[in-house]
């Protein structure tokens, strides 16, 4: 434990803030011509923060990470670690730890030799190398694995070796590129929790790339949502889920019902909407809306409560078309006219199940609803 504590203190002392200023990267495409992989990306990462770049394939998140790492050079903009401009500094001089999607372990080297590789390149003496390797393998739960080879390890163990190799050099910055995509679902959950716990103990500034929204929400202090090379919204998981600022973010973060609506009144941060023939009043998160605008009403499945069709609380009415039992909860699909809706009811027993074909009412929790412009800006 003393060795782990020393590693923690060392990492915390060297945590660094990162500033990405107006960074763009273009590539030549054989069919499309010149395309932007990242366009005018600006980010601030606080020392010790866990920041995740989240978005669909091709959104620019990995290109942005590679420019921060030094594997790509921006066409415009700057990358700074603290007060140091590292935009044109080679990757091997940035003192970063990088965990790749495929782990990139050397198959001909043992676990101990893989972890020691970066230390030997830096010219540390043998005794220091041995001590650090032992300490970091203990830290990631692989004490005694020094003589094993990657072919003898499970996927989760290989991931831990890759993580140990990244942190043993005591980097100023830790970077992850889709590190869990090769693991099965249960192991992904276990490893994401271990990565988050280790990052918090070491207090290393961390930038993490994933396309998995649940993974991003589980590990991050803040999430940067990207689309088509641009940053579209930055915030905590709670902010992005409850207060999306666009249709894209609302649809990408979690499951959602996006209903056509029109703004009928605005009073400060309160907005009144006409949606599916009913009038709803709710608060909005600063979206640029005017009276008469087409908008989208954002209703998460848990914001819809299934009630009797004649219940006075029912704002909408529909018919259940499908039911999926998932143990602690039951997911329903309903049709409100010709508009499909998703709703969740947490399971309280067999008597609470609503059969397909049944007419129902839907009460709306307006405190859990949001509104975004119909068109992306």
Q: What pLDDT, in 10s, does the model give residues 140-187? A: 999 999 999 988 998 889 989 999 999 999 999 999 999 888 888 888
Do the bridges between strand 84-85 and strand 329-336 make them parallel or antiparallel, or are there none, so unpaired? unpaired
Q: How many residues does the chain have?
A: 377
Using the predicted structure, report yes or no on whether residue 347 has a pLDDT greater than 60.
Answer: yes
Mean pLDDT of the chain, nearest integer: 90
Confidence band of 3 (pLDDT split at 50, 70, 90): very low
- CATH 3.40.50.300-classified regions of the chain: 2-242
Residue 350: strand, helix, or coil: helix
In angstroms, the CA 337 to CA 318 distance is: 7
In angstroms, the CA 152 to CA 109 distance is: 12
Using the predicted structure, report yes or no on whether residue 267 has a pLDDT greater than 80.
Answer: yes
CA distances from 257 to 296, 304, 336, 340, 367 (A): 9, 10, 12, 8, 15
Using the predicted structure, report yes or no on whether residue 59 has a pLDDT greater than 90.
Answer: yes
Average of per-residue pLDDT across 20-34: 88
pLDDT confidence of residue 284: 67
- Residue 73 is classified by DSSP as -
* Block residue for tokens 């866990």: 50
Under 8 Å CB-to-CB from 290, ≥6 apart: which residues?
Answer: 263, 266
Average of per-residue pLDDT across 260-269: 89
CATH 3.60.150.10 fits 2-242, yes or no: no
Using the predicted structure, report yes or no on whether residue 10 has a pLDDT greater than 80.
Answer: no
CATH class of residue range 247-373: mainly beta
The answer to whether the CB of 169 falls within 8 A of the CB of 97 is yes
Q: Read off the tokens for 145.
A: 């694995």
Confidence band of 268 (pLDDT split at 50, 70, 90): confident
Q: Read off the tokens for 367.
A: 């405190």
- CATH 2.40.50.140-classified regions of the chain: 247-373
Using the predicted structure, report yes or no on whether residue 111 has a pLDDT greater than 50.
Answer: yes
Annotate 146-183 with DSSP letters as a single string.
TT-BGGGS-HHHHHHHHHHHHHTT--SEEEEESTTTTS
Average of per-residue pLDDT across 219-243: 96
């Amino acid at each position: 434990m003393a060795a782990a504590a020393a590693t923690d203190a060392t990492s915390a002392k060297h945590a660094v803030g990162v500033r990405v200023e107006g960074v763009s990267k273009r590539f030549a495409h054989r069919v499309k011509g010149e395309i932007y992989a990242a366009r005018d990306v600006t980010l601030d990462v606080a020392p010790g923060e866990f920041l995740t770049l989240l978005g669909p394939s091709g959104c620019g998140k990995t290109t942005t990470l590679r420019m921060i790492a030094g594997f790509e050079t921006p066409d415009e903009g700057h990358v700074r670690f603290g007060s140091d401009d590292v935009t044109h500094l080679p990757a091997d001089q940035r003192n970063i730890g990088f965990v790749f999607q495929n782990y990139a372990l050397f198959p001909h080297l043992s676990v101990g030799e893989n972890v020691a590789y970066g230390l030997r390149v830096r010219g540390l003496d043998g005794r220091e190398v041995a001590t650090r390797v032992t300490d970091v393998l203990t830290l990631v739960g692989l004490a005694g694995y020094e003589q094993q080879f990657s072919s003898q390890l499970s996927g989760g163990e290989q991931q831990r070796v890759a993580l140990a190799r990244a942190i043993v050099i005591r980097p100023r910055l830790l970077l992850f590129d889709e590190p869990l995509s090769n693991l099965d679902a249960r192991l992904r959950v276990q490893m994401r929790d271990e990565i988050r716990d280790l990052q918090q103990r070491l207090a290393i500034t961390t930038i993490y790339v994933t396309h998995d929204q649940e993974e991003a929400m589980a590990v991050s202090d803040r999430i940067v949502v990207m689309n088509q090379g641009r940053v579209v919204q930055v915030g905590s998981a709670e902010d992005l889920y409850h207060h999306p600022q666009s249709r894209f973010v609302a649809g990408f973060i979690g499951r959602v019902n996006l209903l056509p609506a029109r703004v009928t009144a605005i009073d400060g941060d309160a907005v009144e909407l006409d949606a599916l023939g009913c009038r709803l009043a709710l608060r909005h998160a600063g979206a640029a809306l005017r009276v008469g605008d087409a908008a989208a009403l954002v209703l998460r499945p848990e914001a819809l409560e299934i009630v009797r069709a004649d219940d006075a609380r029912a704002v909408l009415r529909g018919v259940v078309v499908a039911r999926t039992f998932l143990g602690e909860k039951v997911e329903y699909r309903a049709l409100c006219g010709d508009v499909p809706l998703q709703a969740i009811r947490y399971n309280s027993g067999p008597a609470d199940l609503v059969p397909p074909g049944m007419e129902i009412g839907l009460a709306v929790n307006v405190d859990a609803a949001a509104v975004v412009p119909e068109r992306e800006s």
